[in-house]
Structure 1
Amino acid sequence: MEDPNSKNNVVCKGCSTEPSPQLNILCGICKVFFRAGDVIFSTAACGHVFHKKCLTSWLSTSQSCPQCGSHCYRTRIHQIYLNFAERTDFDDEEIPNAPFEWVPMDLEFGAPADAHLPPDGAIQWGTDDDGHQTYVARVYIDDELLPASYVPEKKAAIASWGCHARRMTDEVEVLVLSDCDHKWVAGEGGSFPEDALQSGYADNGEVTYTGRGLHNGIQRLGKVHPSHKVLYMAHKDSEVNTSTYEVLVVTPREQADR
């Protein structure tokens, strides 16, 4: 089958050059079909999707979504991940529920009284310095999606970013397992297991992972940044790091039983 992209002689710098499956979805800027190897970003407000390079280039001179015109800023976009698979005879059957998901928390003023409570299936991994239970979460800060520690009693998530601890109440997502087991696997120097949960990404698109490590004798949740060879954690108002840590691994039960 002829590639519509080549037919139109369209070249997009944001597209993958590797042979890969093609989606029947166009980038709204370059008008090229997405492929499995492309880095795809979404606007936070309206949810439209584009190649990362297309979108960041557009937003360098504009503050509106190129597709619908709603307000959009470079600090409010994030990467999305798509799972590709070969078509099977079961494609027309009911699609099973995902074994886990990232559930947005409604922490806005005026939200229902119980909106801050973690959903069933959230991973309670420890406590904060005040003894409050904490849960595995992630937050969006500028061009990054960061592993974070959600504290229901404080109606906020704590993350480390830019050498500081950040308390976030906006765009907080809690990890919820529905048909999974989880474990913490030892790592060091930026290493991570092959089946580690991809929890976020840095501003350059590098994947980061949820980890936990010790600082001053207290276990803290943080971000494993492979190229930096450390786990970053929030401590009081600062960002600290350690080269030895544990990485979160989430395994669907069907896979674990094989």
Structure 2
Amino acid sequence: MESNSTEMGSTGGEVEEVVPTNDSSPSLNILCAICNEFFRANDIIFSTARCGHVFHKDCLTRWLNRSRTCPQCRSTCDRHRVHRLYLNFTESPEFDDTEVPKVPIDWVPIDLNRDSLPDAHLPPEGAVQCGTNEDGLPTYVARGYYQDDLLPAVYVPEKKAAFGSHSCNARILTDDVEILVLNDCDHKWVPGHRGSYPVDALTTGYSEVGEVTFTGRGLYEGILRLGKVHPSHKVMYIPHHGQEVNVNTYEVLVVTPRDQAEL
């Protein structure tokens, strides 16, 4: 049903509706909880990944620039954990059929459900492999949510799980795990010590209080290991045999677009 051109204000008088009059596309009987307007067929609609609530793209972008919670249910929501929805309401515009260009730095969700396809756990092309875990298995740069933290994590394909350090323990992550994928980028590892990190380090996580954390690598028991650089704690944490161990000398991941790297 089409929205009326006017609506009743809180005092009983009529006020102009904020929906643009030049938008003749049909409306849906679904409200954006931020602007309180019905979605229309031409709107760009985004959903949060964890709780699944939907909003106008611009509304959600503005909200997440100042908050890390879902506007509707207040569960933890990071601006990197949203995606576009395509509703079967009308024919897609021609531009929807064009191939979306690859971004230089991407965090790709990995499907670790038990019922997934046999190769669903394999790292995508461009994933960053570095070091091994305590059993000598190859590890990849990843991140995952644990409680209110976004943890820089270590993905081990052979175990179909990622591992992150949190509160003195190694946490096994199988939900909301993302693998770092680089397209036309170069990466390097820059030395750090006791919480230091380069100004151009790639931010790969944050703590529950909003402090940014980084992916690092360092030697532990003679093995090159990935871990979480936590600046205020002045160490790099490593998940190791179910526990959280640390080193104070490490290297921090830095990613540079290839066109800049060649300058």
With normalisation by structure 2, the TM-score equals 0.67
> In the aligned structure 2, how far is the partner of 1:55 from the partner of 1:207?
13
Change (3 A) 1:98 1:47: farther
Please name the residue that 1:179 is paired with. 184
Contact 2:68/2:79, CA 8 A, preserved across alignment = no
Please name the residue that 1:80 is paired with. 79
Contact 2:108/2:179, CA 8 A, preserved across alignment = yes
Displacement of 1:130 in angstroms is 2.1
Please name the residue that 2:51 is paired with. 45
Contact 2:134/2:240, CA 8 A, preserved across alignment = no
Contact 1:78/1:145, CA 8 A, preserved across alignment = no
Contact 1:29/1:55, CA 8 A, preserved across alignment = no
Please name the residue that 1:114 is paired with. 119
Please name the residue that 1:228 is paired with. 233
Change (3 A) 1:55 1:180: closer
Please name the residue that 1:211 is paired with. 216
Change (3 A) 1:53 1:255: closer
> In the aligned structure 1, how far is the partner of 2:187 from the partner of 2:159?
25
Aligned alpha-carbon RMSD (Å): 2.6
Q: Structure 1, unaligned stretches of length 5 or more?
A: 1-26, 32-41, 57-64, 82-93
Matched, 1:104 2:109: yes
- Equivalent pairs counted in the alignment come to 197
Larger radius of gyration: 2
Contact 1:209/1:225, CA 8 A, preserved across alignment = yes
Displacement of 1:126 in angstroms is 1.6
Q: Structure 2, unaligned stretches of length 5 or more?
A: 1-31, 37-47, 55-59, 81-98
Change (3 A) 1:54 1:119: closer
SS of match in other structure, 1:114:
coil
Please name the residue that 1:201 is paired with. 206
Displacement of 1:52 in angstroms is 8.6
Percent identity of the aligned residues?
58
With normalisation by structure 1, the TM-score equals 0.69
CA deviation digits over 1:200-223, x for unaligned, max 9? Answer: 111111111100122222222111
Please name the residue that 1:85 is paired with. none
CA deviation digits over 1:15-57, x for unaligned, max 9? Answer: xxxxxxxxxxxx95699xxxxxxxxxx662225544598776x
SS of match in other structure, 1:131:
coil
> In the aligned structure 2, how far is the partner of 1:45 from the partner of 1:149?
25
Superposition pairs of residues 9-24 of structure 1, within 5 angstroms: none
> In the aligned structure 1, how far is the partner of 2:178 from the partner of 2:226?
15
> In the aligned structure 1, how far is the partner of 2:131 from the partner of 2:68?
38
